[in-house]
Amino acid sequence: MLVSAKEMLQKAKAGHYAVGHFNINNLEWTKAVLLTAEELKSPVILGVSEGAGKYMTGFKTVVGMVNAMLEELNITVPVALHLDHGSYDGCMKCIEAGFSSIMFDGSHYPIEENVEKTKELVKLAHDKGMSIEAEVGAIGGEEDGVVGTGECADPNECKAIADLGVDMLAAGIGNIHGKYPENWAGLSFETLDAIQQQTGDMPLVLHGGTGIPEDMIKKAISLGVAKINVNTECQLSFAAATREYIEAGKDQQGKGFDPRKLLAPGTEAIKATVKEKMELFGSVGKA
């Protein structure tokens, strides 16, 4: 059964580790993440962007697929199904569809409007036993057409949003979605420290988990980050393994590619990436 992300993140923050949020795009991705979490006895968060939800034909399909997989694969570790960077309407749809967690990304609204909309969604989500993530200060790079500039959040604004009762808070600290540029300044630990001081026990979320050096990940966890989002790295490992399989010409003696065999190396590659991240984040054995 899907669970809200609240409890797993409170435990992670108290235990000084982070739970991985891995974006899913299809059946193979989902299977790879769930099997790895179960094997490593790690809690996990499945992230679904609005674009990925649309690709999978809608949020209801995603809920149906994930719930069935939890049962058919005998998954016993805590799993949250979470909307990633949701709009107000997207959040409403996921609340209806049976997700167990949502992120409302109101970072592009003026702070007053972000507060207003977040407040409404906190009530709706909590009435259904779901957890909710809010965002302050845009995260750099582009995700599903949402472009951010990589700014650092204002710790006072973080406190204003945290006080609305959200379960986790994403705050920009110089992090960027996708690959980091050569001249990236690194994470602003000064900002992270100030945010944690303002928000106390609130589990903090680090987006843009791909390509952040290990020492920075560990330091971020020591300063209150309890959820780390990873997407691009799974895409890269999946694409590389699939490309290698095709280039090796492993089709069925001229009869074309068997889709199950074609997608198997990519699925294994995602498993390896997820495993590496769970070990780095310290969530192994914490289920």
Q: Which residues bind ligand 13P (CB under 6 A)?
A: 23, 47, 84-85, 177-178, 207-210, 229-233
Query: Active site includes 105?
Result: no
Residue type, 78: P
Helices (H) and strands (E) in the chain, counts: 11, 10
Q: Pick the closer one to ligand 13P by CB: 3 or 48.
A: 48
Q: How far is the CB of 250 from ligand 13P (least distance, A)?
A: 29
Q: How far is the CB of 54 from ligand 13P (least distance, A)?
A: 16
Q: Pick the closer one to ligand 13P by CB: 184 or 257.
A: 184
Look at residues 144, 276, 135, 138 and name the one whose alpha carbon lies nearest to residue 210.
276
- Cα 93 to the chain's mean position, in Å? 18
Q: Pick the closer one to ligand 13P by CB: 216 or 262.
A: 216
Q: How far is the CB of 71 from ligand 13P (least distance, A)?
A: 27
Phi, psi of 134 (to 5 degrees): -120, 165
Count of alpha carbons within 13 angstroms of residue 166, beta-carbon side: 34
Q: How far is the CB of 177 from ligand 13P (least distance, A)?
A: 4
3-class DSSP state for residue 238? Answer: helix
Look at residues 71, 2, 91, 77 and name the one whose alpha carbon lies nearest to residue 36.
77
Q: Pick the closer one to ligand 13P by CB: 230 or 245.
A: 230
List 84, 105, 154, 167, catalytic entry: 84
As annotated, the active-site residues are 84
